[in-house]
């Protein structure tokens, strides 16, 4: 089954990321046109929004610092790689690189993106592992980052079971990603 | 949060000590401050920009329009803020912008949404029902155009840069869907 025959995908692949590049300017074009049409003071509104944005710094910096410290330690001490190697011993159909990527995915978007680029370079971007890495990266967002940022910004300390549920949904996303790639590409 | 954060740090230090990486660990403690600053400053700068755009969209009624379209879905999802249409508008915008893969633009709107939820929160230090549901939706990250992955695949000369998208979309939808079900089952039986 070749899903790449979908018209949208063909359109996208012919121009690389042209569609992706169009979305943002199109959004701003529409919003600004409506604002001018409705005689809104768009310039003052923009400045007001920018000012509010900068106030976030105080709350966001502290929570991001504490989380980046813990994640850096997990990465540098080799603990996450050790756990990845442990899984890789038992299920050898999935490359050790991919195990590391899956473990990093909920904790650090930049780390899992870096591993994905490593996979592209060393195993090939169109290889089975390269495609699986792309699907996994797109299957979920960086849960810990989202929770740290959003709760940090309003000063919530007791996050109840939001992290647990977020991680459950990550596992589901990654699992579906793996199964789909095995189903359609091998 | 303290337990999770603390155990991450303690287990890493003990493991690093056993594997002889203690000097790397001590280096991190010196460099993590500036590393975070380098990460947060551009984030805030981009947030400022999109906050400005969002304010225009808000004043010109674009967000209210979007909220009206998604009202039945949002009312079911977040019943405790059903009457706050301003906050629901930001939630609606956050979901739509995320779908287009514009993470940097979605974050400022999402932050406005959760600030709106905090107004209705009785205990300001404890996460409310709507906050948890909203964050579960965000961590699942429903994205129709994963722009950064497409760009990286193109940069590495993929013969087929986009055929992975349908699979990623199915996976991200399943993740969010299961997340919402678990949230309902766990928190509101």
A39-63 per-position pLDDT tens digit: 999 999 999 999 988 888 887 888 8
pLDDT confidence of residue A98: 95
A17-41 per-position pLDDT tens digit: 566 677 778 889 999 999 999 999 9
Q: What are the structural domain ranges in chain B?
A: 28-187
- The answer to whether the CB of B7 falls within 8 A of the CB of A79 is no
Q: Is the pLDDT of residue A6 over 50?
A: no
Nearest to A43 by CA among A32, A54, A53, A34: A32
pLDDT confidence of residue A111: 85
Mean pLDDT (10-residue bins), chain B, 189 residues = 87 93 91 90 87 92 93 92 93 90 84 95 94 92 81 86 90 95 91
- The answer to whether the CB of B145 falls within 8 A of the CB of B101 is yes
Mean pLDDT of chain A: 86
Q: How far is Cα B44 from Cα B112, in angstroms, rounded to an integer?
A: 14
Would you call B162 helix, strand, or coil by DSSP? coil
Show residues of chain A in contact with B139, CB under 8 Å. Answer: 106, 140-143, 146-147, 166, 169-170
A172-186 per-position pLDDT tens digit: 999 999 999 999 997
Q: Is the pLDDT of residue A4 over 70?
A: no
pLDDT confidence of residue B155: 85
pLDDT confidence of residue A20: 61
Q: Is residue A67 located within the same domain as residue A144?
A: yes
- The answer to whether the CB of A151 falls within 8 A of the CB of A163 is no
Residue A184 burial (10 A CB sphere; 0-12, 13-18, 19+): middle
Contact check, Cβ <8 Å, A169/B178: yes
Q: Is residue A31 located within the same domain as residue A65?
A: no
Q: Is the pLDDT of residue A2 over 60?
A: no
Show residues of chain B in contact with A50, CB under 8 Å. Answer: 48-49, 51-52
The β-bridge partners of B126 are: A158
Q: What share of chain A is helix, strand, coil (3-state, %, to 5)?
A: 80, 0, 20
Q: What are phi and psi of B38, to 5 degrees?
A: -65, -25
Contact check, Cβ <8 Å, A9/B162: yes
pLDDT confidence of residue B101: 75
pLDDT confidence of residue A9: 44
Task: Give me the residues of A, 42-81, that contact B with CB < 8 A.
Answer: 42, 45-50, 52-54, 56-57, 60-61, 64-74, 76-79
Give me the mean pLDDT over the A81-110 stretch.
91
Dihedral angle over CA of B170, B175, B181, B183, nearest 10:
-160
Q: Is residue A2 located within the same domain as residue A93?
A: no
Most A CBs within 10 A among B162, B172, B181, hence the mutation to make, goes to B162
**Does A105 contact chain B (CB < 8 Å)?**
no
- Please identify, among A26, A52, A78, the residue that sits at the C-terminal boundary of a domain: A52
Residue B72, token pair as written in the block: 């039945």
Would you call B159 helix, strand, or coil by DSSP? coil
Nearest to B162 among A12, A24, A47 (CB): A12
**Residue pairs between chains A and B whose CB atoms are closer than 8 Å:** 336
- The answer to whether the CB of B52 falls within 8 A of the CB of A50 is yes
Q: For chain A, what is the domain count?
A: 2
**Does A180 contact chain B (CB < 8 Å)?**
yes
Q: Is residue A133 located within the same domain as residue A43?
A: no
Q: Is the pLDDT of residue A153 over 60?
A: yes
- Please identify, among A33, A52, A71, the residue that sits at the C-terminal boundary of a domain: A52
pLDDT confidence of residue B141: 75
Q: How far is Cα B111 from Cα A152, in angstroms, rounded to an integer?
A: 10
Q: How far is Cα B131 from Cα B146, in angstroms, rounded to an integer?
A: 25
Q: Is residue A73 located within the same domain as residue A122?
A: yes
Which helix (H) or strand (E) element contains residue B94?
helix B85-99
| pTM, to two decimals | 0.87
Show residues of chain B in contact with A152, CB under 8 Å. Answer: none
Give residue A76's domain range.
56-185
Q: Is residue A39 located within the same domain as residue A86?
A: no
pLDDT confidence of residue B32: 92
Q: How far is Cα B174 from Cα B101, in angstroms, rounded to an integer?
A: 17
Residue B151 burial (10 A CB sphere; 0-12, 13-18, 19+): middle
Task: Give me the residues of A, 125-164, that contact B with CB < 8 A.
Answer: 125-126, 130-131, 134-143, 146-147, 149-151, 153-163
Q: Is the pLDDT of residue A13 over 70?
A: no
- The answer to whether the CB of A53 falls within 8 A of the CB of B47 is yes
Task: Give me the residues of A, 5-34, that contact B with CB < 8 A.
Answer: 6, 9, 12-13, 16-17, 19-20, 23-24, 27-28, 30-32, 34
Higher-pLDDT residue of A15 and A97 is A97
- Cα distance from N-terminal residue to C-terminal residue, chain B: 24
């Amino acid at each position: 089954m070749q899903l790449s025959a979908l018209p949208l995908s063909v359109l996208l692949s012919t121009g690389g990321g042209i569609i992706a590049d169009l979305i943002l300017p199109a959004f701003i074009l529409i919003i600004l046109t409506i604002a001018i049409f409705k005689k809104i003071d768009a310039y003052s509104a923009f400045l007001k929004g920018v000012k509010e944005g900068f106030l976030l710094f105080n709350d966001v910096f502290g929570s991001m610092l504490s989380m980046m410290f813990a994640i850096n330690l997990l990465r540098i001490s080799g603990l996450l790689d050790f756990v990845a190697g442990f899984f890789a011993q038992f299920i050898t159909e999935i490359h050790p690189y991919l195990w590391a990527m899956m473990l990093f995915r909920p904790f650090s978007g930049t780390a899992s993106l870096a591993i994905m680029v490593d996979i592209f370079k060393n195993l090939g971007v169109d290889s089975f592992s390269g495609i699986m890495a792309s699907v996994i990266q797109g299957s979920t967002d960086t849960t810990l980052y989202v929770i740290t940022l959003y709760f940090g910004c309003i000063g919530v300390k007791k996050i109840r079971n939001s992290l647990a549920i977020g991680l459950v949904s990550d596992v589901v996303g990654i699992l579906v990603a793996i199964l789909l790639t095995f189903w359609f590409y091998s | 949060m303290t337990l999770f954060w603390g155990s991450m740090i303690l287990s890493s230090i003990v493991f690093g000590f056993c594997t002889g990486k203690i000097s790397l660990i001590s280096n991190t403690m010196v460099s993590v401050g500036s590393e975070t600053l380098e990460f947060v400053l551009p984030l805030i700068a981009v947030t400022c920009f999109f906050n400005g755009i969002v304010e225009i969209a808000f004043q010109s009624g674009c967000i209210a329009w979007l909220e009206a379209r998604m009202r039945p879905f949002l009312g079911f999802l977040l019943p405790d803020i059903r009457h706050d249409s301003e906050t629901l508008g930001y939630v609606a915008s956050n979901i739509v912008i995320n779908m287009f893969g514009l993470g940097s633009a979605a974050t400022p709107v999402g932050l406005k949404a959760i600030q709106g939820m905090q107004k209705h929160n009785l205990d300001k230090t404890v996460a409310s029902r709507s906050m948890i549901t909203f964050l579960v939706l965000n961590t699942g990250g429903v994205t129709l155009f994963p722009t950064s992955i497409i760009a990286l695949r193109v940069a590495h000369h993929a013969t087929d840069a986009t055929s992975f998208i349908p699979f990623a979309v199915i996976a991200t939808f399943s993740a969010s869907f299961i997340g919402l079900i678990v949230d309902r089952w766990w928190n509101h039986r």
